[in-house]
Chain A
Amino acid sequence: DSGVTQTPKHLITATGQRVTLRCSPRSGDLSVYWYQQSLDQGLQFLIQYYNGEERAKGNILERFSAQQFPDLHSELNLSSLELGDSALYFCASSVGGSWSQETQYFGPGTRLLVL
C-alpha cells in the first residue's frame, strides 16, 4: 500500500457525461501528479499540482481540468467524455519542494469506461 488513495476504483459512464476522480496523497506529500494509462498512448503525464497551485501541464485535453484543495486532496474533472477517454487514471504523490523529493508513489488508479 503506497498510502495514496483514489476513488472510485471503477467508473462506467456514457459519452458526453462528466465525471470527477478523487485523489488523496500520502501524509506529508505536497505534490500531486495525474497520469493516464491507455492501450494506445501508454502512460502519459497530464498535470501536476504543488501545495494547491498548478505546476505543470502535459498532454491534458481542454475538456479535462484538475485542482488541488487546501487539504491537499486533488480532483480530476473529465467532461464531454468520449469513447477514447476510457483508460486507467493514476494519481501519484511526492513530498515535493525540490528535485530530491520528487520520487512519486502511485495510487491504485481509477478505471474509467466510457460507453
Chain B
Amino acid sequence: AQTVTQSQPEMSVQEAETVTLSCTYDTSENNYYLFWYKQPPSRQMILVIRQEAYKQQNATENRFSVNFQKAAKSFSLKISDSQLGDTAMYFCAFMKTSGGSNYKLTFGKGTLLTVNP
C-alpha cells in the first residue's frame, strides 16, 4: 500500500513571496503519477499540477512548480509570487499507474497555506 505524508500541517507566507510545501511518499511501485490539489475555503478540489514518475523534468504550471526527487520519494510544491487567492488547503496525492485498472488517488493529510497581505 502507498502512503503520502505531508509533514507541515500549516504554513504562512507574505503576499508576493515564495513558499515551498513538502510531500513524501512511500511506494514499491516504479510507475505512478503525483499530484497537488488545492482546496480553498469553498471546499472545491482543484488540480494544481501533475508529475509523471517516468519524467525527469519537473512539472511547471505558471507560478506553480514541483521538485520531484524520485530516489528520495519526495515531491514538493513551490508557489512563486504568492497571491491572496492561493490561500487554501493543499493536498499531495499519489496514483499508481501499473498493475490493473484501479487508479485511485491516495492523499496526504494536507497543508493549510495562508497568504498574508
Contact = CB atoms under 8 A, between A and B. Distances in A.
Interface of A: 2, 31, 33, 35, 42-43, 45, 48, 50, 55-56, 58, 88, 90, 92, 94, 99-100, 102-106, 108-109, 111
A99 B98 contact: yes
A90 B45 contact: yes
Contact of A56 (B46, B47, B102): B102
Given A56-B101, A103-B47, 13 more contacts: A2-B44, A2-B47, A42-B109, A43-B107, A48-B104, A50-B101, A55-B102, A99-B31, A104-B47, A104-B103, A108-B42, A109-B45, A111-B43
B45 A106 contact: yes
B97 A99 contact: yes
Interface of B: 31, 33, 35, 37, 42-47, 50, 91, 95, 97-98, 100-107, 109-110
A102 to B, nearest CB: 4
Is the contact region of chain A dominated by helix, strand, or loop, or is it mixed?
A: strand
Contacts, number: 61
Given A42-B109, A43-B91, A99-B97, A106 B103 contact: no
Is the contact region of chain B dominated by helix, strand, or loop, or is it mixed?
A: loop
Contacts of A105: 47
A106 B37 contact: yes
A35 to B, nearest CB: 8
Contacts of A2: 44, 46-47
Contacts of A43: 91, 105, 107
Contacts of A102: 33, 95, 97, 103
A111 to B, nearest CB: 8
Of the candidates A35, A102, A108, the one having the most CB atoms from chain B within 10 angstroms of its own CB is: A102
